[in-house]
Amino acid sequence: SQQGEEDPQALSIQEGENATMNCSYKTSINNLQWYRQNSGRGLVHLILIRSNEREKHSGRLRVTLDTSKKSSSLLITASRAADTASYFCATPPRTSGSRLTFGEGTQLTVNP
């Protein structure tokens, strides 16, 4: 079964709007990572948030983590057409070192 599940499955917005994607997971984690995948650049690491952090920023990305609810959210502000991609959350369960379990992903489409 999937460790992480993203919500929504698909999201379509206009350029300049903000996009929010959510991820829920099942077991205790050391950290949670977000990846982006598009046809041009493959799967790319975006940001990592540790289990003792609540919020992290990287450029136009903001990630939150609520370990009590076993959930995380990824906010992309001022979206651009180039942000069109699939976004995955991935978690290494606390007991398994670096092995990542990916969710099904959110397909984001940013319309010009």
Partner 1 sequence: EAGVAQSPRYKIIEKRQSVAFWCNPISGHATLYWYQQILGQGPKLLIQFQNNGVVDDSQLPKDRFSAERLKGVDSTLKIQPAKLEDSAVYLCASSAGLAGPNEQFFGPGTRLTVL
Nearer Cβ to partner 1 (75/100): 100
Report the distance separating Cα 42 and Cα 36, nearest Å. 8
Dihedral angle, C-alpha 87, 93, 97, 100, nearest 10 ° = -20
Q: Which is nearer to partner 1, 38 or 64 (CB)?
A: 38
Query: Which residues contribute to the site for partner 1 (CB under 8 A)?
Result: 2, 4, 30-31, 33, 42-45, 48, 50, 88, 90, 92, 96-105
| Shortest CB 7 distance to partner 1, Å | 13
Q: Is 77 helix (H, G, I), strand (E, B) or coil?
A: coil
| Residue 31 beta carbon to partner 1: minimum distance, rounded to whole angstroms | 4
CB of 43 or CB of 78, closer to partner 1? 43
Q: How far, rounded to the nearest angstrom, does the alpha carbon of residue 77 sit from its chain's CA centroid?
A: 14
- Amino acid 88 reads F
* Cβ 47 to partner 1 shortest distance, Å: 10
Structure tokens at 36: 């982006």
